[in-house]
Amino acid sequence: MSESSIAIDQKYGVKFLDRTSDNIEVVQVKPDMLVETVTYLKMNKDTQFDVLYSVSGVDKDGCFEVVYHLFSTIFSKNLVLKVIITKNCPDVPSLTGVYSAADWHERETYDLFGINFLNHPNPERLLLPNDWKGHPLRKDYVNDDERLSWNAR
Amino acid sequence: MKIILTAVDVVYNWARSNSLWPLTFATSCCGIEMISTSAASFDIARFGAEVFRASPRQSDLMITAGTITHKMAPAMLQLYEQMPEPKYVIAMGACCVTGGMYENDSYSVVRGVDRIIPVDVYLPGCPPRPEALLDAIIKLQKKMKTESLMERREFLEAHKPKVTYSDDRSCEVLLPNPEIEVIHWGVQKTGYDKNAEVSNV
């Protein structure tokens, strides 16, 4: 089956990408349509994805991916959303207005990948010290902070 | 004078070595083994160390049970400095001894607490069994019973903290201590070029 079984309106411009081995659909969403699409998926009575249980980032060759995992407690159904953004301008709208669970997940993704979540209420680092230099899970990250020279091997 | 001091040392050492008050300090899975050691089946109370204190000002033994990250390091140094003398440290677990499995390439983990505070007993294991922690405490007690106050001062002078706080309040990591030259003894990485191109696959 190469088509999505979830009826998402054509106006959102959602593109069906893949289906995982445990039959979870993966769809690609445009960054500027993300909040509208997710609000639709949460509110529409045929989908009702009422849980956001993961936000993560992937550093691909030439782009970043932000991956959202949604779950519907009504239909017991999973959905994976992918947003592909450029490395020069890693901006994505925040989902904290739709799911409050997105708050810390987005802070962690910002912390480790440097992806900026626009309109986030508290866009600070979550795990690392506030004055840390760089974003460690990027492929081109090198830890050369002079202040931490005492910890060299 | 020396004879009197030695006699005082014997009584003093006997008293404090049989009544160690550890600090409740556990940052990861070694803490579970530490809790297990203090619970009924292993019973750390047999060696006089059952009074786990929640305040560093009332404790004289720090069991650093778990991984220390750069974010945790200033808090740990502050806790150590808040403990009254004489104070002792057991580095519990592989992460505290050398950095453990994070030693090779981690960006955030301190490679051994002995880079921050003086360590008396190293206890390897991932995590060590409760019996191993009891053994470490017995070894520490033996050490305490055979040392004198003057020797302890020399030991602390030789193992001063190699790091220092920043004057800048916005700096949240520990800085190298400019007064001490740090000699790194770890395994050197060979064939690693910092400027080499990283392939994005």
Residue A149 lies in a domain: no
- The full set of domain ranges for chain B reads 2-176
Q: What is the ipTM of this complex?
A: 0.80
**Inter-residue contact B138 to B42 (CB < 8 Å):** no
**Residue pairs between chains A and B whose CB atoms are closer than 8 Å:** 61
Is the pLDDT score of B201 beyond 80? no
CA A112 to chain centre: 12
Instruction: Give the distance from residue B110's alpha carbon to the nearest chain A alpha carbon, in angstroms.
Output: 6
Is the pLDDT at A4 greater than 80? The verdict is no
Domain count, chain A: 1
Mean of the per-residue pLDDT values of chain A: 89
| CA pair distance A71, B61, nearest whole angstrom | 48
Q: Is A148 on the interface with B (CB under 8 A)?
A: yes
Quote the pLDDT of residue B185: 52
CA distance A124 to chain B (A): 14
* Structural tokens at position B171: 């700096």
Distance, in Å, from the CA atom of A22 to the CA atom of A81, rounded to the nearest integer, reads: 16
Q: Is residue A49 in some structural domain?
A: yes
Element (H, E) at A81: strand A77-86
Determine the pLDDT at residue A67: 95
Q: Is residue B130's pLDDT more than 90?
A: yes
- Sign of dihedral through CA atoms B13, B16, B135, B81? negative
- Please write the tens of the pLDDT for every residue from A55-108: 999 999 889 999 999 999 999 999 999 999 999 999 999 999 999 999 999 999
Closest CA–CA distance from residue B190 to any residue of chain A (Å):
12
Q: Mean pLDDT throughout B184-200?
A: 51
Do the chains contact at B184 and A153, CB–CB below 8 Å?
Answer: yes
Overall residue count recorded for chain B in this entry: 201
- E strand residue ranges, chain B: 22-23, 61-65, 88-92, 121-123, 163-164, 175-176
pLDDT in tens, B139-167: 999 999 988 877 888 888 888 887 888 88
pLDDT of residue B148: 83
Q: Has residue B196 got a pLDDT over 80?
A: no
Q: Judge whether residue A1 has pLDDT over 90.
A: no
Percent of chain A with pLDDT over 90: 65
Q: Report yes or no on A31 lying in a domain.
A: yes
CA distance B128 to chain A (A): 24
B108 at the A interface (CB within 8 A)? yes
**Confidence band, pLDDT 50/70/90 cuts, at residue A18:** confident
Higher pLDDT, A149 or A134: A134
B residues 56-75 lying closer than 8 A (beta carbon) to A: 70-71
Architecture of domain B2-176: 3-Layer(aba) Sandwich (3.40)
Provide, as residue numbers in chain A, all residues whose Cβ is less than 8 Å from the Cβ of B111: 151, 153
Contact B65, B25 (CB under 8 A): yes
pLDDT over 50 (residue B188): no
Label residue B189 by pLDDT band (50, 70, 90): very low
- Rounded CA separation B86/A72 (Å): 58
Q: Assess whether pLDDT exceeds 80 at residue B199.
A: no
pLDDT beyond 70 at B115: yes
* pLDDT tens-digit map of B5-61: 778 888 888 988 999 999 999 999 999 999 999 999 999 999 988 899 999 999 999
Phi/psi at A20 (nearest 5 deg)? -75, 170
| CATH code where residue A133 lies | 3.30.460.80
Q: Report the range out of B94-98, B153-157, B172-176, B190-194 with the highest average pLDDT.
A: B94-98
Strands A25-28 and B88-92: unpaired
pLDDT at B87 over 60: yes
Domain hosting A77: range is 10-140
The number of helix segments (H) and strand segments (E) in chain B equals 6, 6
* B58 Cβ contact partners less than 8 Å away, ≥ 6 residues apart: B21
pLDDT above 80 for A14: yes
Residue that the structure tokens 């987005």 belong to: A106
* Interface list for B 171-190 with A (CB within 8 A): 171-177, 182, 184, 186-189
A144 touches B: beta carbon within 8 Å: yes
Specify the higher pLDDT residue, B130 or B167: B130
Beta strands in A25-76 (DSSP E): 25-28, 51-60, 63-72
